[in-house]
Amino acid sequence: MVQLLVRLIPFNAFARLRASLYRLAGFTVGARARVAGPLTVRGTGNLAGRLSIGEATFVNSPAHIELNAPVRIGARCAIGHHFVLITSNHVLGPATQRAGALVHAPVTIGDGVWIGACVTVLPGVTIGDGAFVGAGAVVTRDVPPNARVGAPRSEIIGTMSETAPMPRGERVPRPAGPGADG
């Protein structure tokens, strides 16, 4: 029912109302959190107890969050559009069926994290407080606090001080081309 109501609200309007509706559905959503559009939330069992979004966090739309394991998104985070968060994966099976048994692992996104557009976060990942994940990254392993992760290979490309912001206009450096070291 909440998903239907949320979809009736115009995109990028009433983001706090949308967050309140998710709170009414049983999800933990902090004060001043905003959700720009409908979240695609799926999983098995009682999903409401598995999602926590911290205060003053912004989630752009579209966003797809799978909740077969708990997901914690910290306070004061900014999450770009086309965000995908997955908590399930298959173990590699034999040649007769490569998609083996399904396994679940929680995902934690720390406080103050900035996640760019078109980012995918895979099961079992923890992104540390104050980290930045650049657009297009696929996060396959833990990211330390205050690290900058860049696409296309989603590797750590630097660190930031806890107090100093990224210099104005600085962009995440990209490798020179396919197969480039850097």
Spatial separation of the C-alpha atoms in residues 93 and 7, rounded to whole Å: 38
Helix (H) or strand (E) holding 102: strand 99-104
DSSP letter for 87, please: -
How far apart, in Å, are the Cα atoms of 141 and each of 28, 61, 82, 127, 169? 25, 24, 20, 9, 28
Single out the catalytic residue among 64, 81, 82, 90: 90
104 is catalytic: no
User: Is residue 65 within 8 Å of 51, Cβ to Cβ?
Assistant: yes
Spatial separation of the C-alpha atoms in residues 113 and 78, rounded to whole Å: 7
Q: What amino acid positions are annotated as catalytic residues? A: 90
